[in-house]
C-alpha cells in the first residue's frame, strides 16, 4: 500500500524538472517562437527556485546532523575529533581529576594502615612465640601500621605470614600448613 505509493514520489519529483527542461529544447528544434517557450522557461525557473530553497533547507538541517553523527562515530572509534580536541581538555581543566586521584590514594593508604594495625594484634616481626603474648601467633614483616601504604602491601604481608616457632599446637599439629588463609578456613583447628 503506502510504501509503494511513497517510493514512486521521488520518480515524479525527478521527472517534472526534466520535462520542464526538455520542452523548451523540443520547441526550439521545432522552431516555435511563441509565448510557450518563454512561459515554460519561467515555469522551469520557478520550479528550480523551489528545488534550490528545499535543497538549501535540507543542507542546513543535514550539515549539523552529519557533523554530530560523525563526531559520535569518531568518539566510539576513539579517533581524534572535536570531543578530544575541545571537550576532553575542558573537562580536564574544569574537573579536579588530580584531587580525586589523591583522595583515592589517601583512602587506599588509610585502608592499608587499618589492615596492618589489625595484623599487629596477632603478628609481630619476631619469629619465636612468646607466652606473655599468646594471641600473637604469626610472624610478619610489619612492625607499625605505616609499614603498609597500599593494598598490594597488605596482600603481600598476609600471604607471607607464618606461624611462629614454639607456638602451641595450631592447625592440627601441622605448623607448616598454618598460614592466615588456612586458619581463616579452619578456625576450629586453632588451639590456644
Beta-carbon contacts of residue 125 (< 8 Å; ≥ 6 apart)? 139, 140, 141, 142, 143
For residue 162, the cross-strand partners are 139
Cell of 92: 580536564
Supply the pTM of this predicted model.
0.47
The partner residues of 124 in beta bridges, in order of sequence, read: 139
- Distance CA(150)–CA(154), nearest Å, equals 7
Task: Give pLDDT tens digits for 79-133.
Answer: 777 766 666 677 767 777 778 888 999 999 999 999 989 888 888 888 888 888 8
pLDDT digits (tens, 9 = 90+) for 134-185: 888 888 888 888 888 899 999 988 888 888 877 776 666 665 667 777 777 7
Rounded CA-CA distance 69/146 in Å is: 52
What stretches of 3-144 adopt beta strand conformation (E)? 123-124, 138-139
Amino acid at each position: 500500500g503506502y510504501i509503494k505509493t511513497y517510493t514512486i514520489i521521488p520518480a515524479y519529483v525527478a521527472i517534472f524538472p526534466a520535462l520542464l527542461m526538455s520542452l523548451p529544447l523540443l520547441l526550439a528544434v521545432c522552431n516555435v517562437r511563441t509565448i510557450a517557450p518563454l512561459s515554460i522557461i519561467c515555469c522551469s525557473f520557478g520550479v528550480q527556485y523551489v528545488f534550490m530553497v528545499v535543497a538549501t533547507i535540507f543542507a542546513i538541517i543535514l550539515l549539523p546532523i552529519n557533523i554530530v553523527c560523525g563526531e559520535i562515530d569518531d568518539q566510539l572509534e576513539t579517533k581524534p575529533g572535536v570531543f578530544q580536541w575541545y571537550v576532553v581538555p575542558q573537562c580536564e581543566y574544569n574537573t579536579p581529576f588530580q584531587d580525586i586521584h589523591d583522595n583515592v590514594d589517601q583512602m587506599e593508604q588509610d585502608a592499608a594502615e587499618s589492615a596492618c594495625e589489625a595484623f599487629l594484634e596477632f603478628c609481630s616481626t619476631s619469629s619465636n612465640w612468646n607466652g606473655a603474648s599468646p594471641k600473637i601467633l604469626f610472624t610478619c614483616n610489619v612492625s607499625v601500621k605505616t609499614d603498609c601504604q597500599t593494598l598490594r602491601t597488605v596482600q603481600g604481608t598476609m600471604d607471607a605470614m607464618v606461624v611462629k616457632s614454639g607456638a602451641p599446637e595450631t592447625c592440627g599439629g601441622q605448623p607448616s600448613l598454618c598460614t592466615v588463609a588456612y586458619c581463616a578456613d579452619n578456625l576450629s583447628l586453632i588451639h590456644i
